[in-house]
Structures are given as C-alpha cells and as structure tokens.
C-alpha cells in the first residue's frame, strides 16, 4: 500500500463510534478531508450500504461508494477507523475495523484484495484492533506487501 493511498492521517485510532451510519460517515469524511473524493462520495457510500451491507465478517466492514460514485473520486485512497469497543453494523454484526475505500478506475479491486488478504488472518485483525499507534497498524500492511 503506497503512502499516497494510506498515509497516517487516514487512520483514526480508538474511535468512539455510536452507529453504523457514524462509522460510514467518519470513514468517508477522512477520504473527503484527504482530497481523495468530494463530499458527495459519502452519500454514495450510504447508497451502497443500502444495496448490500459492507460488513465482511471477522469484525471488519469495508464501506465504499456505488459504481456511479467513481466520478466523485479524485484519486484512490483508504481510511481506517479503529473501533476497539465495536459498533453494530446491523443484525448483531460487530465491527472493530472500518476500511473506507475510494478507488479511481478499477484500483479499488486491488485495494479490496489487499485488505481481504490481511483480514483473512484473524491474528492480523486482532493486531490492528489492538494497535496503539498508526505506525504499528501500517506495519501490518507492509508485512503483507512484502
């Protein structure tokens, strides 16, 4: 993962999130603040969530925009919101890591693949949930990149 796609500023540790909506809004706002998308992309993230849940299992959700949201993406980026206390993503599905994704063109597929590889190991998820620094969390991505 390049620093341009996932710089430290895109990571929020120890976030206190009260709802699925708050989680999606927070993940999306990081992308807006970083200049990856315009503000309307966040609305497309909510639309996508209505179509089907972005809860992936293993305490992970990957909210992202609909296909027609691509016009709102300036360049690819990822946000990570760490929610150690967990937030209910509906149906009792608890999420502790929220990965907001904005992909230019088909770049989101590569980003989703990398996140899926990292999150296929429960140990990696636990390490990210427990990470006490942004560097520690990013190091897990670097390990998998090698």
Q: Name the residue with tokens 């149906």.
A: 91
Residue 64 a catalytic site member: yes
C-beta separation of 75 from 59 below 8 A: no
Which of 64, 72, 74, 108 does the annotation list as catalytic?
64
C-beta separation of 28 from 43 below 8 A: no
Which parts of 48-121 are beta strand (E)? 55-57, 60-61, 77-88, 94-102
Q: Name the residue with tokens 């300036």.
A: 74
Q: Which residues are catalytic?
A: 64
């Amino acid at each position: 993962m390049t620093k341009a796609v996932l710089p430290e500023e895109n990571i929020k540790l120890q976030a206190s999130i009260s709802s699925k909506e708050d989680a999606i809004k927070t993940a999306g706002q990081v992308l807006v603040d970083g200049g990856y998308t315009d503000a309307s992309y966040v609305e497309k993230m909510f639309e996508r969530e209505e179509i089907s849940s972005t809860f992936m299992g293993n305490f992970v959700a990957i909210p992202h925009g609909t296909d027609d949201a691509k016009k709102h993406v300036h360049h690819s980026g990822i946000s990570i919101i760490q929610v150690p206390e967990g937030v209910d993503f509906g149906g009792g599905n608890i999420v502790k890591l929220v990965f907001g994704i904005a992909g230019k063109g088909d770049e989101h597929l590569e980003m989703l693949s990398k996140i899926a590889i990292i999150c296929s190991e429960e140990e990696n998820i636990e390490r990210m949930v427990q990470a006490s620094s942004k560097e520690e969390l990013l190091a897990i991505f670097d390990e998998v990149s090698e």
